[in-house]
Amino acid sequence: MLVLAGAGNDFSVGGDRTEFSTLLAEDPTGEALSALLTKAERLCDALRGTELVTIARLHGQVIGAGLGLAVLCDLRVGADNCRFRMPELGLGVPPAWGGILPRLLREGGQPRIRELLLTCAAFDAPTAKELSLLNKVVPQDRLDPTIKEWTKPLTRRSPLALRMTKKALNSYANTAQLAIGSPFDTALLTAVLSTRELTRRP
């Protein structure tokens, strides 16, 4: 099992726009920025391709790419204080997160995800559960006990059967989704960021 969690008050507040700007100032060609985004792409591919059962443990803010990483996990539990948001369009960039968009659309449903992406509207944990972006919503002090409730039976499963089941689930899911666009996302985001300043227009 692999549990993806955040330290501090939030799971993730998304990408560091300051880092993007710094890299572009140091290397206007965009190559350094592209290298950083390629690392993020590899992280997404690792989560997508691992044979381990992955669990996202969410609390506080779950923003942008942080939400994308959570969606790549097999199981997701969120504290009732979670606040979710996809602010990319308000910042003047496309939602290019290492090929995560197809999975986000499949998991949350195209009409609602389109709305949330285009409006950059924040939403709470019950809404995330309604959209199937969370399996469970619990008080924050129940996050770890909930994960234990999942992991206890999983540790009793045949490792081979568990791996094969996950492969089957991923294979069937992939037949119903758009092609994974990780390299395209990296190139697209690099091109956009290299030609304009990041702005905040929520």
pLDDT at 168: 86
CA distance 202 to 197: 15
Say if CB 90 and CB 120 are below 8 A apart: yes
Q: What is the pLDDT of residues 40-91, one digit of tens each?
A: 788 888 988 898 999 999 999 999 989 999 999 999 999 999 999 999 888 7
- Position 53 in a domain: yes
Q: Write down the mean pLDDT value for the chain.
A: 84
Evaluate whether residue 148 is within a structural domain: no
* CATH value at residue 6: 3.90.226.10
φ/ψ of 158, rounded to 5, equals -60, 125
* Total domains present in the chain: 1
pLDDT for the residue 179: 46
Rounded to 5°, the CA angle 156-160-162 comes to 60
pLDDT of residue 74: 95
Residue 177 has pLDDT above 50, yes or no: no
Average pLDDT estimate for 23-42: 76
Whether the per-residue pLDDT at 166 is higher than 80: the answer is: yes
Token look-up 């920025």 returns: 33
Enclosing domain of residue 25: 2-140+158-195
* Cα torsion angle, 114, 120, 121, 122, sign: positive
190 lies in some domain: yes
